[in-house]
Amino acid sequence: MFRIRLVLRLLTIQRVLVRHGLDEIVAQTHLLRPLRFLFLLSPWTWVRRSTALPRGVRIREALQELGPIYVKFGQSISTRPDLLPADIGTELAKLQDQVPPFPADAALDQVAQAFGRPADEVFAEFDAEAMAAASIAQVHAARLVSGEEVVVKLLRPNVRQQIKRDLEVLHTVARLAQRFWPDGRRLRPVEVVAEYEKTVLNELDLMREAANAAQLRGNFLGSEMLYVPEVYFDYCSPSVMVMERIRGIPISDIESLRRAGTNIPKLAANGVEIFFTQVFRHNFFHADMHPGNIFVDVTDPDNPRYCAVDFGIVGTLDDRDRRYLAENFIAFFDRDYHRVARLHVDSGWVPAGTRVDELESAIRTVCEPMFNKPLKDISFGQVLVRLFQIARQFNMEIQPQLVLLEKTLVNIEGLGRQLYPELDLWQTGQPVLREWMAERTGPRALAQQLRRDLPEIQYALERLPQALGRFVDRMLEEEQTEPRRPDRRTMRGWARHRYLLATGSVMLIAASILIGLNAEPIELGWGVGASALVLLFMARPRP
């Protein structure tokens, strides 16, 4: 049954591409050249649709017809107009918030089903015509009974079934690629698709998105750089989300921003700082930052503030990957390519036997030309292609857990290029990274870690005297089993040993409490702790 569904879906995809006059483009793609005969034998190629429409329009309409996953693909690449022909980039940008909406009747039915009563009984006002529509959901303007202006986000009908159907296709293609493609094992397509599947399925749960929005709002509460709208959880469900309505200029409307007197260089720099802050300081980043999801509050044009919407895709990293990434970025900033190469080896991103000097030379060749140039003079597309060539040369494996971060970084760079091409991406992000690294490695970071771990430390220390007592008793029992009676000197050694253990343990407990509570002066806790370690070292068993 699965194979039948798969074949039918592939035939549907083929039919859509042919109907929009895209079969020749697809057939010329290197990856699909072995499948050209399918297009030639297909009955749909015998009667083709007119290709009078521009190719950008045909590509956009084909993606819309194929469904949410393909629309999201178009959204992602639309953020990089510098890497696309102008006609295609312009059309794909419409996928960010101009996807055809589903009918008003269906929207009203969905509201009634979610709340168990009609929309006019739930809201004081509800506009059945969508404000904007995207690949997975659309939003409607409304007003709560209590008077707040809100937007109501509704999932598209049958969107879950459509996405699961296309995920089956992606999984099949990934398994075939990993099995038969020479680079399949290194690029790990099966794991990449599995990671994408988790991301896109999470996006279908609007309660999860509401929680994401609340977390991001808390992280930037009071911030002058980013505003996140309030979520009204009493009105939220897995298929409906209600949040505060914000008003601002779309980030893509550069002309309106300029007419408003917006400080665009500051806006662009703030965007980079927001990204690095989310990834490294908060470890919780908005991972769908295409222009349709970003607005600008220009109430104070000299201090413009971003307003984010659509929190269905967020990302996090484990501490190890985050630390390695930060060190890699800083090494890049410092042009320390040997450090970059060494980090790649230490992290396991390249095979352990890789020669560090050769990897260092290859990375330097790609990255050195980037520095001291504004974005307008740097082709990140070319840099990425060169880095992929290096990855292949050194058998570097794709890290699926970093794919979402890489996608977000590409989006951020695309936004920065559109806003202010003279922006220095690296110099803007560098201070945030260095400050975060200092916080992670300094004494205060250790104190904060101890404060977080204080319950576990207290649990262990409460049992330490009993454990030490049992240890000493066992040692005395072993000594007493010897036929020879211990002399006076041995007895004094035992007494000294127990004294040092007891005193060192008490001092260690005191030091943990002082450091955990961040007692002033901070040096007191560290001094007591160091003394405790010295005593415990002196109390160690001697051969």
Nearest Cα neighbor of 278 from 222, 319, 229, 316 is 316
Spatial neighbors of 457 by CB under 8 A, at least 6 apart, are 450, 512, 516
For residues 535 and 504, the answer to whether their CB atoms sit within 8 Å is yes
Q: Tell me the C-alpha distance between 265 and 397, whole Å.
A: 37
Single out the residue of 154, 169, 207 nearest to residue 69, CA to CA.
Answer: 169
Instruction: Give the separation between CA 509 and CA 523, rounded to whole angstroms.
Output: 16
CA distances, 98 to each of 95, 364, 445 (Å): 5, 42, 46
The amino acid at residue 504 is G
3-state SS record for 311-332: CCCEECCCHHHHHHHHHHHHHH
Tell me: cis bond preceding 43? Omega within 30 of 0 counts.
no
Alpha carbon distance 11, 16 (integer Å): 9
The strand pair at 149-155 and 240-244 is best described as antiparallel
Quick check: is 82 catalytic? Answer: no
Tokens of 375: 């974005």
What is the residue whose two structure tokens read 């945030």?
A: 432
CA distances from 66 to 159, 174, 270 (A): 12, 19, 36
CA 399 to the chain's CA centroid: 13
288, 334, 346, 453: the active-site residue: 288
C-beta separation of 78 from 92 below 8 A: yes
CA angle 203, 417, 401 (to 5 degrees): 35
Give the DSSP per-residue string, 70-115: HHHHHHHHHT-GGGS-HHHHHHHGGGGTBSPPPPHHHHHHHHHHHH
Distances (CA, A) of 157 to 111, 135, 151, 239: 12, 11, 18, 10
Interatomic CA distance for residues 216 and 277, integer angstroms:
12
How far apart are the C-alpha atoms of 195 and 364, rounded to whole Å?
31
Q: Are 505 and 460 in contact (CB under 8 A)?
A: no
Q: What whole-number distance in Å separates Cα of residue 269 and Cα of residue 82?
A: 20
Are the C-beta atoms of 202 and 208 separated by less than 8 Å?
yes
Torsion of CA 510, 515, 517, 518, to 10 degrees: 140
Q: Give catalytic residue positions.
A: 288
